[in-house]
Structure 1
Amino acid sequence: MFLGLRTIIYPAADLPAAKAWFAELLGHGPYFDEPYYVGFDVGGYELGLQPAETAGGSPVTYWGVPDADAGLKRLLDHGAEPHSEVAEVGGGIRVAVVRGVEGHLVGVIENPHFRPKG
């Protein structure tokens, strides 16, 4: 089911400060920069920042799947609790999040544009 790690999104209490810190750390700015989301390309993978009030209290790691609906169903069938339903987030990218058996957030992402850098 999982194709590999794709994205991690960190909640940011101070989005501009978090953006500046990661830009300095990574040595480059974000490729996507809006008040609701900042995205950095790190070796073809996504490091995202969202305002804490939008993202919630903990990071979410997204696992790539060929079909977000099937991925969500499989997680729920294996005891996960729903957190957010499958949603289109733009460009044909679809995501969903569950709360795993230990309470942590686990996301699935169907991204037809994902091309890891080798």
Structure 2
Amino acid sequence: MASPLLGLRTTIYAAPDLEQTKAWYTGFLGIAPYFDEPFYVGYNVGGYELGLDPHLAPALGSPVTYWGVEHINEVYQSLLEKGAKSLEEPQEVGGGIFVATVQDPFGNTLGIIYNPHFRLE
């Protein structure tokens, strides 16, 4: 029997000041949102949605979403330069897989991962 889950589609981050949060993510991602309304902003990131919701508050202990990257050290440094705070510096966790986490300026945890074994088909 196949899994009823089809895979990840959307990750939503708290955006207490939607315009400021949108400006930060637009600057970091280098793309404009495809959906931009006063109640929600959505970006298409490699076929997945990164959403910003002004009605959410950052949740301590919530699951961390790791966004795939090719050059983890460069992306990590870019996040820090844009005002994110380091939570976990890039480190190998085995098998050539590297992970890092930062806290964006709005209190959300943003994870990045380089995994040479995982490729979307």
TM-score, scaled relative to structure 1: 0.51
Tell me the matched-pair count. Answer: 69
User: SS of the counterpart of 2:86?
Assistant: strand
Match of 1:74 in 2: 78
Deviation at 1:107, TM superposition (A): 0.8
Alignment partner of 1:99 is 2:103: yes
Q: Distance in 1 between matches of 2:71 and 2:117?
A: 13
Is 1:62 matched with 2:69? Answer: no
For the aligned residue pairs, the C-alpha RMSD in angstroms reads 2.4
> How far apart, in 2, do the equivalents of 1:61 and 1:104 lie?
10
| Cα distance in structure 2, aligned partners of 1:104 and 1:60 | 9
Q: Secondary structure at the match of 2:65?
A: strand
SS at match of 1:114: coil
CA distance in 2 between counterparts of 1:85 and 1:92 reads 15
- 2:99 counterpart letter in structure 1: V
**1:34-73 correspondence runs (5 A):** 43=7, 57-73=61-77
Out of 83, 89, 106, which is 1:85 matched to?
89
The share of aligned pairs that are identical, in percent, is: 47
**Which consecutive unaligned segments of at least 5 residues does structure 2 have?**
9-59
Tell me the TM-score normalized by structure 2. 0.50
Runs of 4+ that moved beyond 3 A: none
CA distance in 2 between partners of 1:77 and 1:114 (Å): 28
